[in-house]
């Protein structure tokens, strides 16, 4: 396929044709237009239904412009092909929007100009023109055909680029609708040419590590321009998808959300943001791809550390009367007891202390905390606080 012409491309006919030849060709233009339209509709299947009605009127104006521009150029070599070029680009864009190749349009050009040449031969003989004039006409038609094709290619590519950009914008808007929890997701997806899946998984590249310009694969959605870039993949991310994702991100760290129905994407996004923040603070271990599924308990326990600390201050306040060292040992013993409900011997083995020491500490805890150790809700609150502290302490410890 020929390359597209740049603006201001060649606007000359390949061989000089006497200007007076235009005078005898002008009267022929209307009938040539009719002949070309009939031949195109008859011989080119893709145009069979495009020569009547509104499409036919548009096509007629296009054919008339193309032929008239040629004859005008013969009459006045300084005449511009701007109108013709615009028509050809429009025809190219139309083919692109219809999802067709340019093959049928190129065939129409060849057929039309072949008929023009045949008519010019007839007119030349009728008016006794020198055969060299008709030969020059043939050379010029070949050049003209190339120009038509080039301009249509240009319009075709413009339309494809525009369609691609439009589709990209629709898909970005779709992703934003999904992340915002908007309704009518099926309608938004249809406008974006995207099949709404039963489940989706989100990917959040860590701050400053997004890779704009990376090509998407399959049915991924992405918003690289957002302050917080987000990727969305249909369904769960299996091992193969994870490899593809790693390659696409160029090794950048990212958080992978839990897999949820599209309507629950805002919740999955919130959890993924939370895990990303915890990883940034060193509260959970980092890695190239950090999965929320692997840190659900940590997300729950560390979701609101200030609230957890407040619960701890309230429930463990009875131990404030002890020295810092004693208080720490009592809390450590309490944590093992809540986690295991083991015997003094079991707890002592875990803490590497004598069972009698465990019994002594438990008596101190019972005396200080009273009903807090027997009331289910308060005992659960204490265990939650101690588990959260243990999680935070484990991940914050130096390697």
pLDDT digits (tens, 9 = 90+) for 140-176: 888 888 889 999 999 999 999 888 888 888 899 999 9
pLDDT of residue 15: 54
294 lies in the same domain as 236: yes
Q: What is the pLDDT of residues 98-148, one digit of tens each?
A: 888 999 999 999 999 899 889 888 888 888 888 887 788 778 888 888 889
Has residue 179 been placed in a domain? no
Has residue 6 been placed in a domain? no
Q: Are 201 and 179 in contact (CB under 8 A)?
A: no
User: Could you tell me the pLDDT band of residue 8, with boundaries at 50, 70 and 90?
Assistant: very low
Has residue 5 been placed in a domain? no
pLDDT of residue 211: 56
Has residue 93 been placed in a domain? yes
Does 11 have pLDDT greater than 70?
no
40 lies in the same domain as 157: yes
pLDDT of residue 2: 34
Please report, rounded to a whole number, the percentage of residues in the chain having pLDDT higher than 70.
Answer: 91
Has residue 294 been placed in a domain? yes
38 lies in the same domain as 141: yes
Q: What is the 3-state secondary structure (H, E, C) of 300-350?
A: HHCCCHHHHHHHHHHHCHHHHHCCHHHHHHHHHHHHHHHHHCCCHHHHHHH
As a whole number of angstroms, the distance between CA 321 and CA 318 comes to: 7
223 lies in the same domain as 286: yes
Of 265, 280, 301, which closes a domain?
301
- Return the CATH number at 145: 1.10.490
Does 14 have pLDDT greater than 90?
no
271 lies in the same domain as 319: no
How many structural domains does the chain have? 3
Lowest mean pLDDT among 30-39, 77-86, 195-204, 384-393: 384-393
263 lies in the same domain as 337: no
Of 276, 301, 326, which closes a domain?
301
Q: What range defines the domain where residue 123 resides?
A: 20-163
pLDDT of residue 208: 56
Q: What is the pLDDT of residues 193-205, one digit of tens each?
A: 889 999 999 999 8
pLDDT of residue 264: 94
pLDDT of residue 27: 92
287 lies in the same domain as 324: no
326 lies in the same domain as 218: no
Q: What is the pLDDT of residues 344-394, one digit of tens each?
A: 899 889 899 999 998 999 999 999 998 888 888 888 888 888 888 887 766
Residue 229's nearest CA partner among 207, 245, 246, 252 is: 207
Does 86 have pLDDT greater than 90?
yes
Has residue 1 been placed in a domain? no
Has residue 50 been placed in a domain? yes
57 lies in the same domain as 87: yes
Q: Which residue has the tokens 């003209």?
A: 144
Does 5 have pLDDT greater than 50?
no
Q: What is the pLDDT of residues 268-321, one digit of tens each?
A: 999 999 888 888 877 777 778 899 998 888 888 887 778 888 888 888 999 998
DSSP 235-275: S---HHHHHHHHHHTTT--EEEPPPB-GGGHHHHHHHHHHH
318 lies in the same domain as 380: yes
89 lies in the same domain as 202: no
Tell me what the pLDDT averaged over the chain comes to.
85
Extended strands (E) in the chain? 200-205, 221-223, 230-234, 254-256, 289-291
135 lies in the same domain as 24: yes
Q: Which residue has the tokens 């130096």?
A: 398
Q: Residue 289: phi, psi to the nearest 5?
A: -130, 115
Rg, Å, the chain Cα set:
38
Has residue 180 been placed in a domain? no
Of 265, 285, 301, which closes a domain?
301
User: Could you tell me the pLDDT band of residue 35, with boundaries at 50, 70 and 90?
Assistant: very high
């Amino acid at each position: 396929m020929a390359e597209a012409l740049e603006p201001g491309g060649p606007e000359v006919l390949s061989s000089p044709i006497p200007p007076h030849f235009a005078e005898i060709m002008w009267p022929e233009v209307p009938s040539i237009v009719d002949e070309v339209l009939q031949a195109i509709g008859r011989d080119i299947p893709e145009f069979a239904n495009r020569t009547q009605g509104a499409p036919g009127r548009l096509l007629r104006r296009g054919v008339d412009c193309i032929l008239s521009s040629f004859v005008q150029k013969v009459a006045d070599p300084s005449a511009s092909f701007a109108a013709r070029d615009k028509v050809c680009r429009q025809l190219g864009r139309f083919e692109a929007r219809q999802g067709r190749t340019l093959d049928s349009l190129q065939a129409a050009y060849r057929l039309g100009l072949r008929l023009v040449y045949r008519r010019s031969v007839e007119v030349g003989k009728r008016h006794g023109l020198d055969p060299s004039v008709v030969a020059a006409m043939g050379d010029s038609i070949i050049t003209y055909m190339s120009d038509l094709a080039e301009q249509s290619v240009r319009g075709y590519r413009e339309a494809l680029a525009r369609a691609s950009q439009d589709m990209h914008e629709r898909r970005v808007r779709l992703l934003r609708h999904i992340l915002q929890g908007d309704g009518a997701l099926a309608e938004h997806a249809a406008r974006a040419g995207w099949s709404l899946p039963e489940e989706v998984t989100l990917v959040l590249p860590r701050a400053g590590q997004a890779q704009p310009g990376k090509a998407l694969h399959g049915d991924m959605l992405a918003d690289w321009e957002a302050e917080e870039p987000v990727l969305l993949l249909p369904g769960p991310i299996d091992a193969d998808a994870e490899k593809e994702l790693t390659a696409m991100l160029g090794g950048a760290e990212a958080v992978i959300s839990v897999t949820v129905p599209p309507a629950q994407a805002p919740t999955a996004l919130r959890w993924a943001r939370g895990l990303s923040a915890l990883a940034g603070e060193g509260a959970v271990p980092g890695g190239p791809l950090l999965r929320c599924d692997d840190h659900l308990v940590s997300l729950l326990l560390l979701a609101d550390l200030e609230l957890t600390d407040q619960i701890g201050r309230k429930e463990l306040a009875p131990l404030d009367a002890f020295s810092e060292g004693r208080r720490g040992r009592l809390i450590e013993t309490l944590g093992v007891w809540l986690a295991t409900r083991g015997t003094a011997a079991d707890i002592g083995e875990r803490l590497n202390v004598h069972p009698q020491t465990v019994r002594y500490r438990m008596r101190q805890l019972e005396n200080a905390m009273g009903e807090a150790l027997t009331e289910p809700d308060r005992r659960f609150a204490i265990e939650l606080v101690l588990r959260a502290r243990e999680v935070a302490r484990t991940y914050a410890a130096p390697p």
